[in-house]
Structure 1
């Protein structure tokens, strides 16, 4: 028995903390998520094209009769294509979300001239010219209720104006 055999295995909590420290933090905004998906998208496209080429080559050899049977294992084209489309769908989702966020920010700047604090906490010493997040939610709820009330009033007025049978 050597001295190396007496070492205790590392503590599982220490291993988990080391793994957490090694992993970069996940991006929070949609544009950063899109940027992180560009690399896998390129790799997936490359794999899809390579698999398509291998499949075509294999099929042409079988058709020419130079290759007997299907004993050669080649990657499945449909799986690589599905992975490529999956990444494209994720990017599309993040782009649509980004567009909606920009639209909401533009509407907020147009209709609510007071800036909103980016944090939910009220004890950050926010100045008087900023709305806290709960105040912003209350303001938005009041605006939605007011818009619904106007809509309902216009619908009722339109029904009163229309001739009855």
Structure 2
């Protein structure tokens, strides 16, 4: 028999609820694109089927064999919107992938030293690698240098412009 002592209630065991395991979402853009290809194919198929049904229904109404509009056919514009939405998502992931590849190429060209993303005080890192704080300092210096060049070019262009 559980008797509360000094106002403290005994803890009841809490039942553990098992939640269904969801597959891990892909983090890289190429995996996301690959995962969208199947739904894109299905969406295109549904859009074409709906278009054929709507055309068939319109043809029957025009010929006079069908009176009124049947509400059973799915809306073409909704299927087309879903298709375009998937196309836009794929386009976004492709553009992001292209930019990431371009940045990776630029990084390897202008900073050919590998970056160690973890703390490295006692790991004995060789001289050919950068720690992450060193990498950030290098990138910040490059950004400020690029801004300085940009400002210099803007000032030079303004000086070249004819005065009114």
TM-score range, shorter chain: 0.7 to 0.9
For residues 84-114 of structure 1, give each alpha carbon's deviation from its aligned partner in whole angstroms, at most 9, with x where no partner exists. 0000000000000001001101110110011
TM-score of the aligned structures, taking structure 1 as reference length: 0.77
For residues 24-76 of structure 1, give each alpha carbon's deviation from its aligned partner in whole angstroms, at most 9, with x where no partner exists. 11111101100000000000000000000111111111112211212342100
Answer 1 or 2: which has greater helix percent.
Answer: 1
Superposition misfits of 4+ residues, deviation over 6 angstroms: 161-165
Residue in structure 1 matched with residue 125 of structure 2 by the alignment:
127
TM-score of the aligned structures, taking structure 2 as reference length: 0.78
Structure showing greater radius of gyration is 2
For residues 89-144 of structure 1, give each alpha carbon's deviation from its aligned partner in whole angstroms, at most 9, with x where no partner exists. 00000000001001101110110011123x4x425948333323333222111111
SS of the residue 2:17 aligns to? helix
Long gaps (5+) in structure 1: 1-10
Question: Is 2:28 aligned against 1:29?
Answer: yes
Q: Distance in 1 between matches of 2:59 and 2:46?
A: 20
Residue in structure 2 matched with residue 54 of structure 1 by the alignment:
53
Give the length in aligned residue pairs.
Answer: 149
- Map 1:1-165; keep pairs closer than 5 Å: 11=15, 14-16=17-19, 19=20, 21=21, 23-117=22-116, 119=117, 121-122=118-119, 125=123, 127-128=125-126, 129-156=128-155
Q: Distance in 2 between matches of 1:126 and 1:55?
A: 70
- Using the TM superposition, name which of 66-75 and 49-58 deviates more: 66-75
SS of the residue 1:14 aligns to? coil
Aligned Cα root-mean-square deviation (Å): 2.6
Long gaps (5+) in structure 2: 1-14
Distance verdict in 2 for CA 1:104–1:61, change over 3 Å:
same
Q: Distance in 2 between matches of 1:34 and 1:75?
A: 27
Q: Distance in 1 between matches of 2:70 and 2:28?
A: 47
SS of the residue 2:133 aligns to? helix
Q: Distance in 1 between matches of 2:90 and 2:36?
A: 7
